[in-house]
Amino acid sequence: MRNRGKTVAVLLASFAWGLSGLVADAEVARTLDEVKALNPAVAEAYAPLHEEWVPQMGVHWGVPGPSVMLAVGADRVVAAYEIMVPEAAGWFPWFDQPEGEPMVHPQLGRVYTQHIYVTDRASVNEGQTPVAIGMNWAELVAANPKIADYSAISGWVPGMGYHYGPPAAGPALLVMVGHDGEVFGFEIIQPADQGWHPWFDQAEGEPMMFPFGPAYTQHVYIVPMAHIADE
């Protein structure tokens, strides 16, 4: 992973396209336990962040720090992936809340969030198994209109695919996408001067170099890395 991270930084400004086969839906991690099996850091560090059920979200699993959070519905089905951003970082149009209307988190204070649903959000109800959507770019955008402006911000990275992100710089939940629109997983990029955490991809003190400076990343896979083409 650490070597691949260096490749991402090199390819961020390029746009190389090619061909690959589709990932079978049976290979997609849909439950919390399946996501844990693909992501050791999630298995080791993640825990429920609250006990109460949040409508259309379920229970959030994560860690006390910048990370890709999981909104887990009934039957431990992952309903959505999420980031939480302090109000001081600014507002961006892909956030869940309107500008100037952050939510108040009991520990973190005023924050904005971004959820990307991998299920039909109307089906995320207490006692009801969330209904999964197809893990391809078209269906992901249909379920999450605020990412409609996302596009490739890197070339093809072995074991990751293309990184899709918003047209403007800012804190966002990125998506790993295949040649044919398959969705492989989700990512955050955290500036190195904001600190290191053990669930990041890189070792402490070894951030990647991006155009804006050094940063750490966290990838959360929903398909086995070995099933993603090398080119």
Q: What angle do CA 103, 54, 221 make, to 5 degrees?
A: 90
The residue type of 32 is L
Contact present, 163 and 152 (Cβ < 8 Å): yes
Beta-carbon contacts of residue 231 (< 8 Å; ≥ 6 apart): 18, 156, 158
User: Helix %, strand %, coil % for the chain, to 5?
Assistant: 20, 30, 45
Going residue by residue through the chain (231 aa), what tens digit of pLDDT does each one get? Answer: 444 443 333 333 222 222 233 445 658 999 999 999 999 999 999 999 999 999 999 999 999 889 999 999 999 999 999 999 999 999 999 999 999 999 998 877 899 999 999 999 999 999 999 999 999 999 999 999 999 999 999 899 999 999 999 998 889 999 999 999 999 999 999 999 999 999 999 999 999 988 888 999 999 999 999 888 776
Partners of 208 in the β-ladder: 215
195: number of CA atoms within 13 Å, CB side? Answer: 7
Distance between CA atoms of residues 59 and 76, nearest Å: 9
Contact present, 149 and 81 (Cβ < 8 Å): no
Q: Among residues 17, 8, 27, 62, which one has the least CA distance to residue 183?
A: 27
The pLDDT of residue 96 is 97
Please report, for the chain, the start and end positions of each structural domain, with discontinuous segments joined by +: 2-227
The pLDDT of residue 8 is 39
The pLDDT of residue 22 is 43
Both tokens of residue 173?
């939940």
Kindly state the DSSP code that residue 135 receives in the 8-state scheme. Answer: S
The pLDDT of residue 14 is 25
Distance between CA atoms of residues 206 and 17, nearest Å: 29
